[in-house]
């Protein structure tokens, strides 16, 4: 296969989900619907929290930022795919590919960090309830969001710097519907062992450290709840963590499968399915998880509806 110097590669081709022309209208309608549901659902969460004074707490402050990150996360990939299906074009420029990859890494890492901050918030609320308002003050909450933003920006730029080291590619066809960093690693014709190690090390650290914080927080939470004597008290404590824990399991379950599955058992079709779950389904389901399992959100939604009508 002809090698293409990086200086000559001006575009890549995203192979997408399917080559079947009969399926394109179905895919267009499906992903457009999922995108609208995800964006409108997350925007509704932001509207509810910002308009209801009862929800002006650290937990819902982090939830608003998580919704913003989810909107950015799904908007990085799905609109491009919808345009590609509509125009029957799968071309993405080299600069566009790097930009898409950068934003995808940024918003994905933001989700990681914000979920960790939310786990810490639940830990303080359950294990140190008397000191909650003093510990989780506005200064600490803003600091945690700033750290999440800075860490995510650093991680995304490290991915870009690694890709910029590639000198040639074996092919310009990416077997996904977006510019996946692992796909670009497989396409590079130069010796990428070091780059592979560095990229997966960065990805493991950016995923391992947040999930370690989440596991540590929930270990303390469970230990504290088990010391509660009444069953009603245990249920109430667990209920405050239910929505967050569901989102954590969904996000990390699909993310780990997508990230490490492509490295250990590469399969283009399985990678695409895992990518859809991680980049599309998860941001779409998060608002439903928080609205259906959260009594405060449902009450605030009803108050917002009552004021509007």
- Pull the structure tokens for residue 185: 């690693």
Residue 3 lies in a domain: no
Residue 191 lies in a domain: yes
Residue 79 lies in a domain: yes
- pLDDT given for residue 257 in this prediction: 66
Residue 258 lies in a domain: yes
- Pull the structure tokens for residue 294: 């959260």
Cα 58 from Cα 61, distance rounded (Å) = 5
Nearest-5° Cα angle at 190, 184 to 194:
80
- Pull the structure tokens for residue 3: 């090698």
Residue 2 lies in a domain: no
Helix 231-264 / helix 193-226 crossing angle, nearest 10 deg: 170
Q: Which domain holds residue 19?
A: 8-308
Residue 1 lies in a domain: no
CB 304 within 8 A of CB 84: no
- pLDDT given for residue 268 in this prediction: 59
List the CATH number of the domain containing 30.
1.20.1070.10
CB 104 within 8 A of CB 153: no
* 168 phi and psi angles, rounded to 5 deg: -160, 165
Residue 275 lies in a domain: yes
How would you write the pLDDT of the chain (309 residues) with one tens digit per residue? 444 444 456 788 888 777 777 888 898 999 999 999 999 999 999 999 998 888 889 999 999 999 999 999 999 999 999 988 888 888 888 888 889 988 998 998 999 899 999 999 999 988 888 899 899 999 999 999 999 999 999 888 887 887 777 767 777 888 888 888 777 777 777 655 666 676 667 766 777 788 888 999 989 988 888 887 777 767 777 777 877 888 888 888 776 766 665 555 555 566 677 788 888 888 898 888 877 667 778 788 788 777 776
For residue 222, give Cα distances in angstroms to 82, 143, 230. Answer: 43, 26, 14
Cα 109 from Cα 205, distance rounded (Å) = 11
- pLDDT given for residue 137 in this prediction: 93
Residue 87 lies in a domain: yes
How many structural domains compose the chain?
Answer: 1
């Amino acid at each position: 296969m002809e090698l293409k110097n990086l200086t000559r590669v001006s575009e890549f081709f995203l192979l997408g989900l399917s080559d079947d022309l009969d399926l394109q209208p179905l895919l267009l309608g499906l992903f457009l619907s999922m995108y609208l549901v995800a964006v409108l659902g997350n925007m509704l969460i932001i509207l509810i929290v910002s308009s209801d004074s009862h929800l002006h707490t650290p937990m819902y402050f982090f939830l608003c930022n998580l919704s913003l990150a989810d909107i950015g996360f799904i908007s990085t990939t799905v609109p491009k795919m919808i345009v590609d299906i509509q125009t029957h074009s799968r071309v993405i420029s080299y600069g566009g590919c790097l930009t898409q990859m950068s934003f995808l890494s940024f918003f994905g890492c933001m989700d990681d960090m914000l979920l960790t901050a939310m786990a810490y918030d639940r830990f303080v609320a359950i294990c140190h309830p008397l000191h909650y308002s003093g510990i989780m003050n506005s200064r600490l909450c803003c600091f945690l969001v700033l750290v999440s933003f800075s860490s995510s920006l650093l991680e995304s730029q490290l991915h870009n710097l690694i890709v910029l080291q590639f000198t040639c590619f074996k092919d310009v066809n990416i077997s996904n519907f977006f510019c996946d960093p692992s796909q670009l690693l497989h396409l590079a014709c130069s010796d990428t062992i070091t780059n592979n190690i560095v990229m997966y090390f960065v990805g493991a650290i950016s995923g391992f450290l947040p999930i370690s914080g989440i596991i540590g927080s929930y270990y303390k939470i469970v230990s504290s709840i088990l010391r509660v004597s009444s069953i009603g008290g245990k249920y109430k404590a667990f209920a405050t963590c239910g929505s967050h824990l569901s989102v954590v399991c969904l996000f990390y379950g699909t993310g780990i499968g997508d990230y490490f599955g492509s490295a250990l058992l590469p399969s283009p079709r399985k990678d695409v399915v895992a990518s859809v779950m991680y980049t599309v389904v998860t941001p779409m389901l998060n608002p439903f998880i928080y609205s259906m399992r959260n009594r405060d959100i449902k009450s605030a939604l009803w108050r917002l509806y009552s004021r509007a009508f």
